[in-house]
């Protein structure tokens, strides 16, 4: 289903990285479909600083990011996309010509490169673009007529001081509305209000009516709560129809307390909110599985999970490849931060990038040699050696497994 997007924007030019990251996380938890983060400074130091910030944001938030950048050559666009952002935006008035813009469109796709301008610019000429960010809107008749007659897609950037959000969302050829006026608002609730006014938005909508759930005699259904990334089971609680609908409306896990006989939003008193990522139902329609982003600890005891006490167990191999990679990576990172005498990892860091690259090359060659040998055990050892040295290189260059897995997922 094609829906229109609510995209908060953050101007980073006068903000600290900590402030931007904090605000971005709040917007995502509140229900932002995407984020528009920009810094159009031509200063080389500020541009590099912005790229570092973008890389941090991509590793932290889990919605697409459009980066507003200064573009003077194609390399500027490439550097921005290599941070992991989904799209870029360039200001029309800051372009000397359209060669770098055109090359970026050809390389990364026209739908991923916005041309930003105000309404007067948009009306003044024809541009080599189909995807626009338009700001300072008066919504003149000339503007509306041009939108209707040219082949274009619009993202509107507006402070909502003069234009209502409903009016903007009713525009023809609109991708979405980007604004900075909804700080500390629940965006899921705003989107639900827009849906009631006939505007298609990305909201939590259940594929099954609550009346089709198999509840107990009190109209309650158990809910198992799981961390959406680690898949750790966090807790179990109950919902009635009202708390279920409230969860869909706000995007925040809301339960029914059997002891207090009232609704409760997880985190209201502790601040340990649970932001919904996905709700699933089992084969019998009698248990809900909620995948959430957990803030703080899920358990009132302070433990991350309510299931922290072991009753019985049996020895078994619970090796998880991703966890092993994370654990080894974290140990290597700790060695770089807290060196240990006699550590081979610290020896590599002390020798520097050239030594690390030399070892990676040597280990890659060992893999090739071992692969020609029918003994698979030898190949296993060489691959393990290469992966270790590769992780040393990743730490040295500031790459994480999150960066790598995101890149693989995008291919």
User: pLDDT digit string (tens) for 28-43?
Assistant: 999 999 999 999 999 9
User: According to the model, what pLDDT value does residue 402 have?
Assistant: 84
Output the pLDDT for position 407.
Answer: 82
Query: Residue 378: what pLDDT?
Result: 87
Region 72-98 average pLDDT: 96
pLDDT value, residue 215 = 98
Q: Are the C-beta atoms of residues 80 and 73 closer than 8 Å to each other?
A: no
b (16+ CB within 10 A) / e for 70-98: bbeebebbebbbebbbbbbbbbbeebeeb
Are 379 and 373 in contact by the 8 Å Cβ rule? The answer is: yes
Instruction: Name the band, by pLDDT with cuts 50, 70 and 90, for residue 74.
Output: very high
pLDDT confidence of residue 376 = 73
CB 69 within 8 A of CB 85: no
Q: With a cut of 60, say whether residue 1 has pLDDT above it.
A: no
**Beta bridge mates, 154:** 132, 174
pLDDT digits (tens, 9 = 90+) for 245-294: 999 999 999 999 999 999 999 999 999 999 999 999 999 999 999 999 99
Give the Cα separation of 368 and 359 in Å (integer). 14
Contacting residues for 258 by C-beta, under 8 A, at least 6 apart = 218, 220, 238
Nearest partner of 11 among 227, 180, 256, 232, judged by Cα: 180
Q: Is 369 exposed, middle or buried (0-12, 13-18, 19+ CB in 10 A)?
A: exposed
Least confident of 3-12, 24-33, 184-193, 395-404: 395-404
Q: Pick the closest to residue 223 from 211, 232, 235 (CA basis).
A: 235
Residue 86 and residue 162: Cα distance in Å, rounded? 30
340 SS3 class: coil
Average pLDDT, the chain: 95
Tell me the average pLDDT across 99-107: 97
Domains in the chain, start-ordered, CATH in brackets?
A: 5-196 (3.20.20.70), 210-294 (3.10.20.810), 321-410 (1.10.287.1080)
- The reported pLDDT for the residue numbered 395 is 96
Q: Which residue has the tokens 């950037």?
A: 157
Q: Where are the beta strands (DSSP E) in 39-138?
A: 65-69, 87-91, 113-118, 131-135
Tokens 């234009």 sit on residue = 163
pLDDT recorded at residue 315? 81
Q: What is the mean pLDDT of residues 78-107?
A: 96
3: pLDDT confidence band, cut at 50, 70 and 90? very high
Q: How far is residue 111's CA from residue 154's CA, in Å, rounded to a whole number? A: 11
**Per-residue pLDDT tens over the stretch 158-200:** 999 999 999 999 999 999 999 999 999 999 999 999 999 999 9
Concatenating the DSSP letter of every residue in 304-318 gives SSS------------
Could you tell me which of 134, 55, 29, 45 has the C-alpha nearest to residue 37?
55
Q: What is the pTM of this model?
A: 0.84
Counting beta carbons within 10 angstroms of the beta carbon of residue 375, is it exposed (0 to 12), middle (13 to 18) or buried (19 or more)?
exposed
Model pLDDT for residues 402-411, shown as the tens digit of each residue: 888 888 877 7
**HSE toward the beta carbon, residue 78, CA cutoff 13 A:** 7
Are 48 and 19 spatial neighbours (Cβ–Cβ below 8 Å)?
A: no
């Amino acid at each position: 289903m094609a829906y229109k997007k609510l995209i908060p924007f953050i101007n980073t030019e006068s903000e600290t990285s900590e402030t931007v990251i904090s605000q971005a996380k709040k917007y995502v938890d509140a229900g932002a479909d995407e984020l528009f983060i920009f810094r159009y400074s031509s200063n080389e130091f500020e541009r590099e600083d912005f790229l570092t910030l973008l890389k941090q944001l991509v590793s932290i938030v889990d919605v697409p990011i459009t980066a507003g950048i200064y573009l003077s050559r194609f390399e500027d666009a490439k550097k921005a996309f290599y941070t992991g952002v989904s799209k870029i935006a360039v200001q029309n008035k800051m372009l000397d010509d359209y060669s770098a813009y055109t090359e970026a469109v050809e390389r990364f796709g026209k739908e991923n490169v916005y041309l930003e301008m105000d309404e007067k610019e948009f009306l003044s000429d024809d541009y080599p673009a189909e995807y626009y960010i338009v700001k300072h809107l008066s919504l003149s008749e000339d503007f509306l007529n041009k939108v209707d007659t040219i082949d274009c897609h619009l993202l509107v950037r507006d402070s909502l001081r003069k234009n209502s959000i409903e009016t903007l969302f009713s525009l023809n050829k609109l991708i979405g509305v980007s604004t900075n006026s909804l700080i500390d608002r629940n965006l899921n609730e705003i989107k639900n209000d827009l849906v009631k006014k006939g505007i298609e938005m990305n909201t939590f909508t259940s594929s099954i009516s609550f009346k089709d759930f198999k509840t107990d005699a009190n109209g309650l259904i158990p809910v198992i709560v799981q961390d959406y990334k680690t898949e750790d089971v966090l807790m179990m609680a109950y919902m009635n129809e009202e708390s279920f609908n409230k969860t869909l409306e706000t995007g925040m896990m809301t339960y029914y307390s059997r002891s207090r006989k009232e609704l409760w939003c997880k985190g209201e008193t502790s601040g340990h909110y649970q932001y919904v990522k996905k709700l699933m139902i089992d084969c019998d329609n009698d248990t809900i599985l909620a995948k959430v982003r957990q803030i703080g600890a899920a358990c009132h005891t302070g433990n991350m999970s309510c299931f922290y006490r072991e009753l019985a167990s049996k020895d078994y191999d619970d090796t998880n490849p991703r966890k092993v990679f994370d654990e080894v990576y974290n140990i290597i990172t700790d060695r770089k931060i807290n060196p240990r005498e006699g550590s081979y990892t610290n020896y590599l860091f002390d020798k520097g990038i050239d030594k690390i690259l030399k070892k990676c090359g040597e280990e890659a060659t060992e893999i090739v040699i071992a692969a020609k040998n029918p003994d698979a055990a030898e190949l296993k050892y060489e691959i393990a050696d290469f992966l270790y040295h590769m992780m040393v290189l990743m730490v040295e260059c500031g790459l994480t497994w999150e960066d790598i897995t995101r890149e693989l997922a995008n291919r």
